[in-house]
Structure 1
Amino acid sequence: MPGLCKTRVINVSPKELDELSCTICSAIYLNPVVSQCCQQLYCKTCITRHDNCVLDDCQQLKSQSFSIQTKQLLQLLHSLKVRCDYHMNGCKSVIKLNELLPHRDVCHFKERPVESPHNCNGCDEYVVNGQKKQHEDSCVKALKRKINTIDFHNKRLRIENGKVKSQLEIYKLIANSSDQIETYDYTGTYKLISSINHDQILKLLGATQSAIESWKSKTHTLVINKFSETYCLATSDGTSDHKLMFRLGQVCKETERDGSVSRLLVIADQNKLIETKENSKKKFKIVREFVDNQQKVRTFIDGIVSLRVYDRVEPTKETIN
């Protein structure tokens, strides 16, 4: 058999282990012999497999070409403390090399099939499969990796939970508005007369400062028409127009001015139209309240609220039943 695996030897430095290693098998010598031609040490089993000297290829090897190594080396090898042959099965015994064979004959762990070593998920240390959980329960690096994994799954679950809550809110809004869909005439033409804090809303939606200043300088009108069960909400600032088609209580998609797509639900609540809008960046709500020939539009995003007030300038007579 080849030499003894270095990982089974304890309390010996890597450099010292290299000095006690066979050139052929790179393991700790077992039954070391020295070649007479080059004075090189080998495990007896390793070198007898070769017909010629390994290092110099200087001559054909014969049994008399080897001599047993000195007593000092044998004493050094025999004093090495090594793990049992069955340490992968769970044996924790550490014995001297010269006591290994007697221990192996009586070891209680030899009846178990030898288990392959596995890497700890944290520190990469080799551990027996049956002891992996016990090791990782006390390994700081493994515990940190478990915590990171749990945090990742928690974040994913929070995102999924938010989506479910959002869908539930939509269903509740639809249910609460089902009896109030046709209670008010929202159609008309409206002109913006004042705005409070809407620049903050635009900033949250990604508008640049120059775009915000441009928005403030323009005249904004809003027209709401109804065609059968479908509403059309059209806005204009004199240079660009935007139209939104929707049916009350039905989820639809809105293409924004920047080309992005939002998921939208509009419900009626007496003299109010309530829009719940969600896109890849934000989720927000717009409440349009119709009172005293005015439309008061409140926008809610991330705790910020803006108010825009529109005067009704003329009724719209394009409603078709």
Structure 2
Amino acid sequence: MKMKTTMRGAACALVLAGLGACGGGGGGSSDRDEAAATGDLTAENYAASTDAAYATVELSSELSAMMSETVQAQSVPASRSAALTPVGVQRLVLERVRQGSREQAQAAEPVTQPCDGGGSLSITESGFDDGISRGDKVTVVANGCKESADDLPMTGSLTATVTAASETSTSASFSLAFQFSAFGSSELRFNGGVNISATGTDSESRVSIDYNGLTVTSAAGTQQWRHTVVEQSANGGTKLKLGGLVQVRSDFYRLEQAADFGVSGTHLVSGSLRLVDRQGDYALITGGAEALSYSFFPAGSSAPTGSPVTRPHSSLQ
């Protein structure tokens, strides 16, 4: 999926900038948590609505996966290994924060880095004079930046501000507030804020992302992301938990995690999630080794209506 490539690139620009972890979540705002679902699921439309909701969640989960990888590393070198997409840029910023201990304070003057395919990134850091602390900030401005000559240029800006931080020789914990301003390409563009928190050691991590009304514009139209993603990794296993609201066309549906998803590679291989409409009807998404399955449950019923719909993992790439 080309859009997923664009997301990886954005996280990368942040790695170039140098902040350092990926992941997100945590609680959302009371306004969002108390908001009601507006959509209406039926036995006839639930599969298409569930496909659309899953596509949004999958796209946003790219960031939490990258954050988990980074926060577990005790020493993360600045690199250009992440793609220069909106998510890739966020990862670059996260790495910069993760490496916040400097020999001297960073001057609040922009540093320009050329992009391989043309254009540049202007990176401004303030703070980081004594490790990572509240109020430290990194701003990235994309000036027609392209990873390769064939890529779409990225424009707009992204600012990441440290809202909390703590680090020892064996663990790290920090929270960041991201603010996007028309950031991305003509394929995928972000406006608004995202709150990210992460804790990690060499062996385990917890990353949470709160998309509290982030506006995302793509070829499919404009959406508000109002959901949360929490990813936990320990003992070689990864669990994923979702909450909040997800937009499908002009309506919103509530996400209720029935059992945390087990993750293998990029596949949801166990666990289940309810996509709930305004009346209490819901689609149950169940992870499996080879495929996801969807089932429709009318409000108040413990038995599904009709036969389940199967979506092989290979069809969801």
Q: Same fold (TM over 0.5)?
A: no
TMscore range, shorter length: under 0.3
Greater helix proportion: 1
Using the size of structure 1 for normalisation, the TM-score is 0.23
Report 1 or 2 for greater relative contact order, CA contacts < 8 Å, sequence distance ≥ 6: 2
